Amino acid sequence: MRTSILAGIAAGTLLAAGTAAPALAVDDGMADLSVLHGVPDLTVDVYVDGELTLDDFAPGDLAGPLSLAPGTYSVAITASDAADDSEPVLGPIDLPLEEGMSYTAVAHLDEGGDATATLFTNDISATASGEGRLTVRHVAAAPAVDVWADGDVVFESLANPDEVMADLPVNTYSAAVSVAGEEDPVLGPTDVAIEEAVNTIVYAWGSAEDGTLAVAAQTVATHSDMPGAVAAGTQGLAADDPGVPAAAIVIAVVALAGAGLATRAVLARR
C-alpha cells in the first residue's frame, strides 16, 4: 500500500461531510481520492492494498481527499472488529486512478437496499467566470424522482446511482420536486446557492423505508488546467454478490431535505 494513504489519514484528512472548504488542485503527477460511507447502521474498517487505512469508519463519514500516485488500488471494507481484510463485507475491488483526476468512492445501498459501491469521477474542469458547478448523486435506497422548474418537469426519474451535473451562474435558485410520475410537489420551492469556481457535490444516502435517509456534501475546486470528467459506474462491491441545469438544482433540493421529507415522498408513492 502506498504510504501516502496512511500519511493523509494521519494528517487529519477525515472531514465532516458538508463542512470542509473546497479541496485544492490535484498535485502534479498525482490523483485525489475521497471515500464516503453511505451504508446506514454499519461502522466499518477500510483496507487499501491489504493495510488498514480507515478505522471505525462511521456512516456519513467522508475521508479525503487523499493524494495518491496513479495506479490501481485494491479496496476492501470489513466489519469494524475484523482482524484483517480476509472476510470483507464489500469488495475487494480494484480502483484504477489516473493522474490529474479527482475521484470519490461511495459505499452505499442500491435502490433495493443491498450494499454496493460506486466510483465517481469529480468534474474539476474550469467553470466560466461567474459560474459554479452543481453535482447531485442519488446513492440511497429510495425511489426515482421527477424534478420541476417553473411548473414543468425538466428531468424525469432520476434513479440510484445516477447523477445530475450542470454549470450555473452564481446565484440562489428556487426549485421543487415530486415523486416520479406524480404531479403534487412533496418538497419546495427551496433556495439552492451556487458558488463561483466550486463543484458542490450533494449525496442523498441511506434508506427511505428504514427512515435512515441522510445528506452528505463535498466541495471540490474547479481548475482551468485539469481535464473534465465523466460519471463512473457501479464498481460491483455487493455484499454477496450532460445534466439539465434546472434538473440539477431541483434534485439538490431532494438531498438537502433530509430524511423526513424524503420518507414522505416514498409513502406518497405507495
Count of other CB atoms within 10 angstroms of residue 212:
18
User: Is residue 54 classed exposed, middle or buried when 0-12, 13-18 and 19+ CB atoms within 10 A define those classes?
Assistant: buried
C-alpha cell at 116: 454496493
Q: Are strands 102-109 and 31-38 parallel, antiparallel or unpaired?
A: parallel
pLDDT of 252 reads: 44
H/E stretch holding 236 reads: none
pLDDT of 24 reads: 63
Residue 63 has pLDDT above 90, yes or no: yes
What is the tens place of the pLDDT at every residue in 78-133? 999 999 999 999 999 999 999 999 999 999 999 999 999 999 999 999 999 999 99
**What does the alpha-carbon distance between residue 15 and residue 218 come to, in Å, rounded to a whole number?**
9
Amino acid identity of residue 65, one-letter, is: P
pLDDT of 145 reads: 73
Between 55-59, 61-65, 125-129, 145-149, the lowest mean confidence (pLDDT) is in 145-149
What is the tens place of the pLDDT at every residue in 120-175? 999 999 999 999 998 888 898 988 877 666 577 767 787 999 988 888 888 877 66
pLDDT of 140 reads: 87
**What does the alpha-carbon distance between residue 4 and residue 69 come to, in Å, rounded to a whole number?**
8
* Mean pLDDT computed over 29-56: 95
pLDDT of 2 reads: 40
* Mean pLDDT computed over 5-29: 48
**What does the alpha-carbon distance between residue 90 and residue 193 come to, in Å, rounded to a whole number?**
35
Residue 53: closest CA among 45, 61, 44: 45
Backbone angles phi, psi at 248, to 5 degrees: -60, -40
Q: Coil, strand or helix: which one is 156?
A: strand
Of 235 and 242, more confident: 235
DSSP helix, strand, coil percent of the chain (3-state; round to 5) = 10, 50, 40
Q: Distance of alpha carbon 76 from its chain centroid, rounded?
A: 18
